[in-house]
Amino acid sequence: MDERLVVEVVGDRSADELRSLRDWLVAEEELRGRVRLESPPPEPGALGSVVEALTIALGPGGVATAAASVLISWLRRRTGDISLKATWPDGTSTELNVTNVKGLDVTEVQRMTAELSRSLAPADDRDIGDAS
């Protein structure tokens, strides 16, 4: 069974940013069918609900690395600062606050992708490896 990672964008235009991130993620073949926008039921009398998060079903076969790579690429296209929070079903979470991602060099992008990939890996894999 795949673990589901919940991703939230914190700040202005969070629903629009989540929709944009979803579009980027589903464009990646390995992630197609694994990404879903999450909305609470609409309030009585409201026309619809607001997107609050997106879920990614992660599993074996490099899915976490693909998600991390797409996420970094997406972040590099953002203007200004952006904050993301990724939460696992067990309650553990990773927060990513990014400023000036556009200006990162290739080495920093690779480091950030590897770090994010480790944090997105299924729980059993996150506990393996060095603790640095």
User: How many residues are recorded in the chain?
Assistant: 132
Task: Write out the chain's pLDDT in tens, 132 residues.
Answer: 468 888 888 877 888 889 999 999 999 999 999 999 988 776 777 665 567 899 998 877 678 778 888 887 888 787 777 888 888 777 888 887 777 666 677 787 777 777 777 776 655 554 433 333
Q: What is the predicted pLDDT for the residue at 49? A: 58
Give the rounded distance of the alpha carbon of 95 from its chain centre. Answer: 10
Count of the separate structural domains present in the chain: 1
Q: Is residue 22 part of a domain?
A: yes
**3-class SS of residue 114:** helix
Q: Are 65 and 37 in contact (CB under 8 A)?
A: no
CATH code of the domain covering residue 78: 3.30.70
Q: What is the pLDDT of residue 102?
A: 65
For 114, the token pair is 């590897």
Considering the domain boundaries, does residue 83 fall inside one?
yes
Q: Is residue 114 part of a domain?
A: yes
pLDDT at position 50 is: 67
Q: Which residues contact 103 (CB under 8 A, 6 or more apart)?
A: none
- Residue 12 forms part of a structural domain: yes
8 within a domain of the structure (yes/no):
yes
Predicted pLDDT of residue 121: 63
Provide the residue range defining the domain that includes 66.
Answer: 3-126
